[in-house]
Amino acid sequence: MAARSEVLQEWPHFSKEAPRLFAAPGRVNLIGEHTDYNDGFVLPMAIDRRTVVAAAPRQDRKIRVHSRNFNETVLLDLENPGSGCRGVWWDYVEGMAQVLLERGLKLPGADLLLASDVPIGAGLSSSASLEISVGLALWSLSGQPPDMRQLALAGQAAEHRYAGNRCGIMDQFIAAFGRPGNALLIDCRSLDVRLVPMALPGVQVVVCDTRVKHALSSSEYNVRRAECEQGVRQLQESMPELKMLRDIGWKQFLEVADQLPEPVRRRCRHVVGENARTLSAVDALGRGDLGEIRRLMGESHRSLRDDYQVSCPELDLLVEIAGTAEGVYGSRMTGGGFGGCTVNLVETGHLDAFRETISRTYSRKTGIEPGIHVTSPSGGAAEFS
């Protein structure tokens, strides 16, 4: 793990105290996009890229934190927090500390040294990886055994309040609870989790990074959430029992969709359809039905592109190229959208040809060299020696 080597190499120049080491992974969402903040279903897996935190307690009420990725050191005061939403990486660190304090944890001051090999801004949840690794470190330094469910919820609250992103619970939950060899089907209302074995012999999960992030990503995310909430309010006029979009099935939605104006109708249509696709994908994985998985991933991408309108030309191009390559059993955008990554299921014997096709064609058409990462389902946050 490169990030672990980096923090161990740097620590003697940062603190004289012996450190404890913590890590939390990034994630790729196989299917179930923009459903989590609608109390729906998601199917993410933790990836083998992580944020690593070396941590030691301090005697004062300060958190001194250095990021290897940004080559910056800041000093945070637990008694006098900043305003948050400043657009800086330490918003996530301060947010986690303050939320944990508000929830009754007695945190000491701390020296923290961070390094991450989760690509930043690629839609692989580098922010949740940072939140959960830092939160686990601070919680552990307090002397209390960490409650991973509460840690995930604290990470979500920190992102809402200190980063201004009204995200669902998926990213923080998979960072906390990922399991090797498995994706997780998460019910984002009850927070029940079902392990879904990624038992697809001869098939690899490949993440392709557009290496672009359009400025709309953060502002439009909150707009989409507001549009979904508007749809629920309008549907409640004829369906008072409706609480969230997950409470309505596909056939029932088609009967009432005309009650909604555009573009709210399309936003809701995506969410309702995506919930159904996610549950169908779990069944298809259990059967090893790669043809059905390919169909569902294709439908998901088209819905995100046309109904939810969170794709972009670069993402669409990567999906289009993947569709022409041999041995590909599904491709779709993953993450919030407006850039970031696609997730692809690729036959092992065709990996080299897939890499070459994606790299050559995408570079020729955009002038950008894509990032291509073969990954595997990995474990969640943990302390390690």
* CATH number of the domain enclosing 68: 3.30.230.10
In a domain, 109, yes or no: yes
60 a catalytic residue: no
Residue among 255, 257, 231 nearest 243 (CA)? 231
In a domain, 185, yes or no: no
Instruction: Indicate the number of domains in the chain.
Output: 1
In a domain, 13, yes or no: yes
At 233-254, the pLDDT tens digits run 999 999 999 999 999 999 999 9
In a domain, 12, yes or no: yes
At 16-33, the pLDDT tens digits run 999 999 999 999 999 999
At 165-188, the pLDDT tens digits run 888 899 999 999 999 999 999 999
At 367-382, the pLDDT tens digits run 999 999 999 999 999 9
Query: At 77, which helix (H) or strand (E)?
Result: strand 72-77
121: alpha, beta or left? (left if phi > 0; alpha if psi -120 to 50)? left
> Is 98 in contact with 1 (CB distance < 8 Å)?
no
Collapsing DSSP to helix, strand or coil, 249 comes out as coil
Catalytic: which of 91, 171, 209, 307?
171
> Is 23 in contact with 48 (CB distance < 8 Å)?
no
At 326-350, the pLDDT tens digits run 999 999 999 989 999 999 999 999 9
At 208-232, the pLDDT tens digits run 999 998 766 667 888 999 999 999 9
In a domain, 99, yes or no: yes
Residue 111 phi/psi, 5-degree rounding, is: -100, 125
In a domain, 147, yes or no: yes
Q: Where are the alpha helices (DSSP H) in the chain?
A: 2-10, 90-102, 126-141, 148-162, 170-177, 216-235, 250-256, 264-287, 290-306, 313-324, 351-366
Domain that holds residue 69: 2-25+45-178
Give the pLDDT of residue 162. 92
Tokens of 138: 């601070």
